[in-house]
Amino acid sequence: MKPILRKFLPPAAMLAVAALLFGAALLRNRQPQEPVSRTELSLNTVVTVTLYDGQDESLLDRCMDLCGAYEQMFSRTLEGSEISRLNRGETDTLSPDAQALLSEGLRYSALSDGAFDLTVGAVSSLWDFSSGEGEVPDPAAIAAALPTVGWEKVELNGDRISLPAGTQIDPGAIAKGYIADRLKEFLQENGVESAIIDLGGNVLCISGRPDGTPFRIGVRRPFSDASDSMVILEVDGRSVVTSGVYERYFEEDGVLYHHLLDPETGYPCDSGLLSVTILSDSSAEGDALSTACFVLGLEKGMELAVSAGVEAIFIDENYELHFTPGFSTPYTLPE
């Protein structure tokens, strides 16, 4: 306290002034911090991690490093990745992460009766939905690749895996969810209590905002801007994953060819849907189920979502919304 104040104030008043100054300092410290955020191209998509309750940017660096490391492990296209070596028959022993990813992938393949099929790789690698120069593959090549698809022919025992000749693993429909779960674990172990992990629209929340309100996560209007939502969900700690036809596609002769394949035909699945969004605790589960439910279509997809105990929103070809029965996550429908 300034000497001039000390001179003129009696001790009780001095105490009161000290308490006021102390209180003001406390209040200042309780002001909400600005979130810190990092966006990078990784995992073949745009990755954004935002921390709402801390400003430790080194955690953001570590998240981006983790994405890079997982890409080196799980990419189907990088030559040196563990999945590529497995697909070329150069290894039959899995790292702990690959073992966990593939055993989850096989579990959802079984659960969805092959609508999601982890072994769709020989077919999916014939299609190019990303470069902007995609063309419909030669039907003979698709017919030749189809017999290699079949999750039930994969043998996984501990860290040992055996694939039939020609069978190719494609972890693309579950890997981002798995990686989001690992980033969440990493951030929580480092004390983060409020964050959003967004791997190209595959969103996983750590709790809600620091003031206790939930995060607001939009379900995109198909083919519209990312900011144009058909539903806005209030999400606390959960994963929100969407599989939509508008995410990766090309057009040929007026027909839209999208990246969600029917493992039985090898062609984009015509399930009468535009997107499926899954709300779940685990993002790997949401990722696998969003693809599976899309391929199964509205009726069977709804049954799978209900039996798996997740909440889901289906958007059909007429832009009609369909919610799982008893949908309990609060939401609003923007005008």
Residues that bind Mg ion in the complex, under the rule CB under 5 A: 173, 243, 287, 290-291
- Which C-beta is closer to Mg ion: that of 36 or that of 111? 111
From the list ligand ADP, Mg ion, none, partner contacted by residue 260 (C-beta under 5 to 8 A by kind): ligand ADP
Contact between 261 and ligand ADP by CB under 6 A: the answer reads: yes
- Look up residue 313 and give its amino acid: I
From the list ligand ADP, Mg ion, none, partner contacted by residue 124 (C-beta under 5 to 8 A by kind): ligand ADP
Only segment of 13-21, 33-41, 287-295, 304-312 that touches ligand ADP (CB under 6 A) = 287-295
The answer to whether residues 274 and 318 touch, using CB atoms and an 8 Å cutoff, is: no
Contact between 231 and ligand ADP by CB under 6 A: the answer reads: no
Cβ of residue 281: shortest distance to Mg ion, in angstroms? 16
Q: How far apart are CA 305 and CA 293, in angstroms?
A: 7
Place of tokens 């990078």: 40
Q: How far apart are CA 163 and CA 152, in angstroms?
A: 10
- Which C-beta is closer to ligand ADP: that of 243 or that of 277? 243
- Which C-beta is closer to Mg ion: that of 150 or that of 200? 200
Cβ of residue 18: shortest distance to ligand ADP, in angstroms? 57
A 10 A CB-CB count for 333 gives 9
Please report, as residue ranges, which positions from 109 to 128 form the binding site for ligand ADP (by CB under 6 A): 116-117, 120, 124
Distance of CA 57 to the CA centre of its chain: 22
- Look up residue 196 and give its amino acid: I
Instruction: Pick one of 82, 104, 198, 287: the residue that binds ligand ADP (CB under 6 A).
Output: 287
Q: How far apart are CA 64 and CA 81, in angstroms?
A: 18
Quick one: CA dihedral 22, 24, 30, 35, positive or negative?
A: negative
Nearest alpha carbon to residue 331 among 312, 310, 317, 305: 312
H or E element, residue 41: strand 36-42
Contact between 295 and ligand ADP by CB under 6 A: the answer reads: yes
Instruction: Pick one of 263, 266, 286, 301: the residue that binds ligand ADP (CB under 6 A).
Output: 263
- Which C-beta is closer to ligand ADP: that of 94 or that of 284? 284
Expressed in percent and rounded to 5, the helix, strand and coil fractions of the chain are: 40, 25, 40
Torsion, CA 103, CA 108, CA 87, CA 124, rounded to 10: -160
Cβ of residue 261: shortest distance to ligand ADP, in angstroms? 4
- Which C-beta is closer to ligand ADP: that of 172 or that of 218? 172
Cβ of residue 256: shortest distance to ligand ADP, in angstroms? 15
Q: How far apart are CA 19 and CA 96, in angstroms?
A: 56
Site residues (vs ligand ADP, CB under 6 A): 116-117, 120, 124, 170, 172-173, 176, 202, 243, 247-248, 259-261, 263, 287, 290-291, 295
